[in-house]
Amino acid sequence: MIRAAAKNHADVAVVVEPEDYAAVLAELSQHGGATTLSLRKKLAAKAYARTASYDAAISNWFAKTLDDNAPAFRAFGGRLVEALRYGENPHQSAAFYRTPDVRPGVATARQVQGKQLSYNNINDTDAAYECVAEFDPARTAAVAIIKHANPCGVAENANLAEAYRKALACDSTSAFGGIVALNRTLDAEAAKAITEIFTEVIIAPDATDEAIQIVAAKKNLRLLLAGGLPDPRATGLTVKSVAGGLLVQSRDNATVDGMTLKTVTQRAPTAAELDDLRFAFRIAKHVKSNTIVYAKDRATVGIGAGQMSRVDAARIAARKAEDAARELKLATPLTRGSVAASDAFFPFADGLLVAIEAGATAVIQPGGSMRDSEVIKAADDHNVAMVFTGTRHFRH
């Protein structure tokens, strides 16, 4: 009926939103009980979009129920949250829409304070919250600091404040003006630590009243409370636009806890190394490819993100660790005695050798290269433990 009314908008005004009542009533009053064609066109456009969004939700539900991963037609719809000041760059227009997918995060969060979120804020905050959600809050407190959708520091600890300090130590330069995501209720101690430097957004499941008051001193700092954490194991779809089309895939819901780790070297990792290996691989999942992540004592100590070659990712991560050591006035970089994670296999031994030179004593990677034997031999030659996950975490 709504679509039929919209189709006949030349003579029919169709209203699908209470917020439009005032405009309709005003025109009825001004035009002797009639409405203008201009208003009817606007109302029809909204009606078509509304029914299209509803139909898209139903069609996607059927596709999921029927286990059809590639239906002949695929549609997506969303409801406007707000028009944004601009897009990724000032010359681009943008708006934020909420989909029927009820997943805790930036789209469901309540903004307690701060300036309007920008396009980049929303994108980065989503990346940060999805990353920190990899850590079960019942097991540990965790903090992720994100810049341009890449982690620049992630750590877990008994409390949020200490986890934040460990995460910040990884790359305090990049953390300036970043996004901070927490997997537990923001408390006063963590709020004090985070507000010591310029931060764009804080997102957490909740916050104490005292923490909210502390953040309030930074009036432009956006504080988002999501009401829960997204489940990293949950199914769902991700969509990317390309010229003339859409790329649709299932969400990367593989977690290291569900993987069988296979030791492929002569030396098996120690319990402490294995703990850090799992930690590092959680982070590698959320870094743009190619990536190498160095970790020690459940904290990142060097991250190489988005490189065209894996060996360069290993070098950049090591260089960042050296920079951090100078800033922290440490005698040696924290990559000494660390572990390394790679989001995909090492095509050659060169990237592994860079990680070993940086001080890594154990490595986690998917495996599957034609030169796996060469890479494993290089690890054995340096008494480095290596485990294969059998699962790749490319991220583009």
Amino acid at site 186: L
| CB of 135 closer than 8 Å to CB of 160 | no
Nearest to 183 by CA among 168, 170, 202, 209: 202
Q: Choose, from 42, 46, 64, 148, the residue flagged as catalytic.
A: 148
7 counts as catalytic: yes
Q: Transcribe 263-323 into DSSP letters.
A: E-SSSPPPHHHHHHHHHHHHHHTTSPSS-EEEESSSBEEEEE-S-SSHHHHHHHHHHHHHH
Specify the 3-state DSSP secondary structure of 28.
Answer: helix
Q: Are 293 and 317 in contact (CB under 8 A)?
A: yes
CA distance 225 to 88: 24
Intra-chain end-to-end CA distance of the chain, in Å = 43
Q: Residue 148 catalytic?
A: yes
The Cα 322–Cα 318 span in angstroms is 6
Tell me the angle at which helices 350-358 and 372-381 cross, rounded to the nearest 10 degrees. Answer: 20
Q: H helices then E strands: how many in the chain?
A: 12, 16
Q: Which of 7, 41, 240, 262 is catalytic?
A: 7
**Closest by Cα among 286, 237, 292 to 395:** 286
Nearest CA-CA partner of 164 in 147, 148, 183, 136: 183
* Phi-psi sector, 29: left (phi>0), alpha (psi -120 to 50), beta: alpha
**Residue whose C-alpha is closest to residue 321's, from 336, 306, 308:** 336
- The CA angle 64-65-71, to the nearest 5 degrees, is 50
- Taking alpha carbons only, the member of 214, 215, 189 closest to residue 201 is 215
On whether the CB atoms of residues 144 and 150 are closer than 8 A, the answer is no
Element (H, E) at 262: strand 262-263
- Residues annotated as catalytic (active site), given as ranges: 7, 148
